[in-house]
Amino acid sequence: MAQENWFTEKHAASGSSIGYRVAEKLADTQTPFQHIEVWRTTDWGNLMVIDGCTMLTTRDNFLYHEMMTHPALYTHAAPRDVAIIGGGDCGTLREVLRHPEITSVVQVDIDEQVTRLAEKFFPELCESNADPRARLLFDDGIKFMADAQPASLDVVIVDSTDPVGPAEGLFNAKFYASCFRALREGGILVQQSESPLVLLDLIQSIHKAMHEVGFAATRTLPFPQPCYPTGWWSTTLARKGGDLATFREADAAARPFATRYYNAGVHRAALAQPEFLRTALPA
């Protein structure tokens, strides 16, 4: 194939790139916040790109969305109220709403066009958008958390892009302090935390900031993600009281919905830290 038939993302931090053979461009939109493209690929379904960076593909997004949601929800004793900051493609929202005990989910993404393009080109991710428990807001997630009522949430999931541009303010102690205040005792914060292979310093700074604002326990769970740089990604959890080393394993094993990656064994395995993470991050 000629060069123009490939989309390639160059990743300076890892000195590598990842590419997809593409058949046609389906959308190209410049919003007030970012540049969004959607491509039809020959082998990975549809591909969403924001500011030149791969966001998701039809083929492998389940890895990310399941690991951003189910570990936290099965660690919490009784999750009911959830906030998703970012997550405009709505895949995380769909996974959260698979849990019947959830009573309310608010998703706050600054850019409405991400959701509108997901509805058109990734409709399977948006199948729960009309669920009566869901509320979609297109607003500033940092301000939303700063204004949230104290002890009003059980889980906060930060489903953000890389820590640049609109997402830059989601990776610091000030934002985590807002989340800490909004969480009830035993509540869990979930942060998309990039590649542990090449951005370990960022993950270390996330743990440090979470502990600074009062979270009792933090844990990074790595998982495979072929569409992202290095092919290895992570989610970092923080808990307001309690630990993250145990979870409701029987409930996870008997979950009343289908998954493609997550199960109780995968959760247990993710808690067993690779040696370089075990020595670099808090126990």
Q: Using CA atoms, how far apart are residues 135 and 158, in angstroms rounded to an integer?
A: 16
Whether 66 shows a pLDDT value over 80: the answer reads yes
- Compute the average pLDDT of residues 164-189: 85
61-280 maps to which CATH number? 3.40.50.150
- Its CATH architecture, for the domain 3-57, is Roll (2.30)
Instruction: Please report which helix (H) or strand (E) contains residue 63, including its range.
Output: helix 61-75
Query: Residue 237: exposed, middle, or buried by beta-carbon count in 10 A (0-12, 13-18, 19+)?
Result: buried
Give catalytic residue positions. 159
Whether 168 shows a pLDDT value over 70: the answer reads no
What residue ranges of the chain are covered by domains with CATH 3.40.50.150? 61-280
For residue 25, CA distances in Å to 94, 111, 124 come to 26, 20, 20
Instruction: List all residues 6 or more positions away from 205 whose beta carbon is below 8 Å from its beta carbon.
Output: 171
Q: Using CA atoms, how far apart are residues 211 and 205, in angstroms rounded to an integer?
A: 10
Strand (E) positions, 58-112?
Answer: 81-86, 104-108
How is residue 137 written in tokens? 């807001």
What are the pLDDT digits (tens) for 227-242?
Answer: 999 999 999 999 999 9
> pLDDT above 90 covers what percent of the chain?
92
Whether 280 shows a pLDDT value over 50: the answer reads yes
What are the pLDDT digits (tens) for 5-26?
Answer: 999 999 888 899 999 999 999 9
Q: Using CA atoms, how far apart are residues 176 and 91, in angstroms rounded to an integer?
A: 23
What residue ranges of the chain are covered by domains with CATH 2.30.140.10? 3-57
What are the pLDDT digits (tens) for 203-232?
Answer: 999 999 999 999 999 999 999 999 999 999
Whether 164 shows a pLDDT value over 80: the answer reads no
Q: Cα torsion for 51, 52, 55, 57, to the nearest 10°?
A: 140
Largest Cα span, the chain: 56
Can you give the pTM of this predicted structure?
Answer: 0.95
